[in-house]
Structures are given as structure tokens and as C-alpha cells.
Amino acid sequence: MTPTWRNDPFDDDKLREECGVFGIVGVQDAASFVALGLHALQHRGQEAGGIVAHDETHGWGSARRFGYVRDNFTSRSVLDTVPGPVAIGHVRYSTAGSKGATAIRDVQPFFGELAHGGTAIAHNGNITNADALRRELIERGSIFQSSSDSECIIHLMARSLQRSIPEKMKDALRRVEGAFSVVAMTRTKLIGVRDPLGVRPLVLGRVGDAHVVASETCALDIVGAEFLREVEPGEMVVATMDGTLTSHRPFEPQRRRSCIFEHVYFSRPDSILEGRSVYETREAIGRELAREAPAEADLVVPVPDSGTPAAIGFAAESGVPYGMGIIRNQYVGRTFIEPTEQIRNMGVRLKLNVNRALIAGKRVVLVDDSVVRGTTSRKIKEMVLDAGAKEVHFRIASPPTAWPCFYGVDTPDRDKLLAATMTADDMRDHLGVDSLKFISLDGLYRAVGEAKGRNEDAPQYCDACFSGAYPVAPSDQIARGFEVAAE
């Protein structure tokens, strides 16, 4: 039977980052630190989680579960199965792996006993040549235990002739295409690696003499770690039990292309990303949006929670009052009610409720981070009109999402993306709103600190979901017939 949390009847119609990773070396009860870090990264993956640790007395231990960190990794009965001073963890949605009841085999971290010692590995991102690598490895005798693209890394490491785990990992990752932030461990070391373009984030911190690597700075905050710096694109860091940290450069240097949507939606607003407060960046996006697409209105209302900072910025720049016109029910979980057809029809009303006293009789600007399929946007518009709004205007804090992401984001097929098949005016009519405006791609670049906007000849970020310009050719997708325009 498919786990109930995968049948979410309250579809929020958002792009979903696929994974969060966390690792620490040099502390007692490292798994407890990892559990806290994964809890802070829960927004990056709510389907399943796992922890692997090593202890000199007990050896390797692992725990993998479906569902939330708070439900699975807070009891001593679980954490006592993963003792030791070094541990890594992972929370996930799924892209390449299966989503059925047997998919516990796809829950990371993965472990392998290699020629020169055991290693565990957790991966955020997506390997765009995984199909080709898997075929090659199987033909050469590898036996895969999962359907996850991340397992390719373990098998590539096993075939490497290098004599240390970090060197084997360098060998393996040089064969990999796509986007990856990898956290790995041996019995005595913690390893963090970021792909040459730096598409997916990875940060480095310290607790006393212990080092931490994580997807975001908010995961450092929860364990009281000092934020040292980002792991640079194309960098490998190796931390040991005694607090030693070394940096390596296993790849040829390339121009940085980190994911711009991390600034818009994926990262938590209390994180620091590329030296900038995510919250302040999103507020700046709202201000830029107000300059580009003003609206004659009485009230600016965020679509909670992801639209809130942008709505605050929009209201401040436009002079239109800000109000919490939509209230989110924080206690609706994925297993609140069995998803019968009647409950499905209630849809978004179980998560969001309109503040009628604030909305009635007003021209309302709704600010959201994105429009993907448009299903939730239509429902929210209907709720606001039912509450007595005179007009509804949508302002979107990202450009139209017209292309799928192949770098670790759960994106619908292109024909399911509203912006891929409709003009902005068509989308406005489809949603049934008085106006619909998106921030321009140049405006988004300005808001994240690029004063001159997007460099058309050499884009500063990965913005493929908006532009269709893929910085790494998605080889497997191209082999299946997906057409990609050259940058």
C-alpha cells in the first residue's frame, strides 16, 4: 500500500526542492545533531529521511524512515541505533527514485563497503546522465539496490583504483553530469562536495572543533553552529575527527551558475544564501515587482507562507496597505483526513482561510512566489471573491515557469506547466483574475543583486525553468527526445 503522506489531497501546486543534506564529525552523539539539522531542512524534503553513523565499538548504523523527521528521529530508541561521533543525513522528495511502497530502498544515505573502507553518501540534486551511467555499470557487473540516480556514485567509487575514499569520490564525480551537493562520510572523515557550477547549495559550519556541512545555514543555526562559509562550486572539503579541514579542487573551474529559484522559494527565509539574507532578497523581489507591475488596489495580501516577504516588499514600494487577508492553518498535516473525493474537492480550504472582514469590498493584490499548474491559484482566487473582494490581481515574484528542471527539482512535464502553453493574457483569463503580472527575468536578477540584470551572453545563475537555457545538457532527457535550445 502506498504510504498515506504521499497521497496529499491538499496539493499546494508548488515546485519542490528534492533534498536536504546534513553531516557532522567530531561530536558525541552525532546522529542527534543530524536529526536536528534535518528537522530544520524539512522544507526541502518531506517524503522520507535517513541517518547513517559510525562508532568504533558498534560499527556502521543506519535508520531510514518514511515521513517527517519529528515523527521518526526524535526518540532514543531510534537514535541509539546510530551511535558515534560522525554521521550524515538526508531528507527527500523523489525525482529519479520510485514512489511506491517499496521505495524505502531509495531512501538515502546510501552505504557501500569499498576496497579501502566503508563509506556512506547523501546527495542533493540530480544526475542528468544517470541512465547512461547505470547501463554502463550494469553491463560491467554492478548490481543496483535502488532506483535512485545517487547510487551511481557509490558504484563509480567502487570501480575507482584510487586508494582513499576522497580520491575515489573525485574519480566518481568527474564522470557525473548535472547538479549535486554531496555529503559523505568514512569511519573518521566528513566530506562535502559541490558540483562545478554550484547549482545546488552547500554550506560549512563549526561547533567547537567539530565541522558541519549542510544544505542551508538555518540547519547550522538549530545546532548552534557558526557559519563559516559556503562550499564553493567545484570544491571538496574534508573534515576529520581532530578538527582538521582541508579543501580540494577536483574539477576544472567553470563559471558559477547557482539556482536562482533558491532565492525565490526553495531556501528558508531565515537562511543566508550567497552572502545575502533570503528574507531581504525576497522583500527586494517584491519591491522590484511593484515597480514593474503596479496595481490600483486597496490591499496587498500574501499567499502564505511563501509569498509573505515579497508581499511586504510590494506593499512598501507601492504604498498600498499590507494585510493578512489569507490565514494558513498550521495544523493540517498530510494524513489529516483520508483523501476521499469530497475532501479532495475541499482542496486548499483545509490549508487556507480568507479573512473576510479584511477582504470584503476591497480591490486585492495577491502576491505569490510562482504559478506552476495554476490549480491552486484558481482556488485561492475563488475563495477571495467568495469573501467579497471587488477585484483580484495576481502579482508573481518570479518569471513564468515554462521549462522543467532536471537538476533536482520536482517539475511537471512541460505540457503541464501553464506558462509553457499559454501567454500571460491567456493565463490571466484561465485563472479568472482582473490582472496577472510576473516579475521580469531582468527584474529578478536586479533583486538578487545583479544591478545590470541578466547577462544574456553569460547568465550569472541557472534560470532554466524560466529561460529554457540549461547550463548542463540533460543527456538522459535528450536521449528520450526532449529538445533543448543551445545557450
Can you tell me the distance from the alpha carbon of 31 to that of 53, in angstroms, rounded to the nearest whole number?
7
- 392-418 burial string, b = 16+ CB within 10 Å, else e? bbbbbbbbbbbbbbbbbbbbeeeeebb
Question: Which residue type is seen at 425?
Answer: D
CATH number of 4-256: 3.60.20.10
Higher-pLDDT residue of 313 and 13 is 313
| Residues whose CB falls within 8 Å of the CB of residue 213, separated by 6 or more in sequence, listed in order | 21, 22, 23, 24, 183, 190, 192, 202, 203, 204, 205, 231, 237, 239
* CATH 3.40.50.2020 domain locations along the chain: 277-464
CA 139 centroid distance within chain: 33
pLDDT tens for 131-167 read 999 999 999 999 999 988 899 999 999 999 999 999 9
pLDDT tens for 242-299 read 999 999 999 999 999 999 999 999 999 999 999 999 999 999 999 999 999 999 999 9
Active site residue 462: no
Can you tell me the distance from the alpha carbon of 92 to that of 181, in angstroms, rounded to the nearest whole number?
13
pLDDT tens for 197-227 read 999 999 999 999 999 999 999 999 999 999 9
Domain 277-464 = CATH 3.40.50.300: no
**Unique residue bearing C-alpha cell 528574507:** 279
| Nearest Cα to Cα of residue 248 among 265, 231, 260, 261 | 231
* CATH 3.60.20.10 domain locations along the chain: 4-256
Positive or negative CA dihedral for 152, 166, 251, 158?
A: negative
Q: What is the dihedral of CA 131, 136, 137, 140, to 10 degrees?
A: 160
Is residue 288 packed enough to be buried (19+ CB in 10 Å), middle (13-18) or exposed (0-12)? buried
- Grid coordinates in use for 326? 489569507
Residue 8 has pLDDT above 70, yes or no: no
- Choose, from 19, 259, 405, 465, the residue flagged as catalytic: 19
| Nearest Cα to Cα of residue 444 among 291, 270, 266 | 291
pLDDT tens for 14-70 read 676 679 999 999 999 999 999 999 999 999 999 999 999 999 999 999 999 999 999
Q: What is the dihedral of CA 294, 449, 396, 371, to 10 degrees?
A: 160
Residue 345 has pLDDT above 60, yes or no: no
Question: Which residue type is seen at 354?
Answer: V
| 336: confidence class by pLDDT, cuts 50, 70, 90 | very low
At 482 the pLDDT is 85
How confident is the model over 356-370, as a mean pLDDT? 97
| Percentage of the chain exceeding pLDDT 90 | 81
| 344: confidence class by pLDDT, cuts 50, 70, 90 | low
| 103: confidence class by pLDDT, cuts 50, 70, 90 | confident
Averaged pLDDT score across all residues of the chain: 91
Do 1 and 338 touch, CB atoms closer than 8 A?
A: no
How confident is the model over 339-351, as a mean pLDDT? 63
| Percentage of the chain exceeding pLDDT 70 | 91
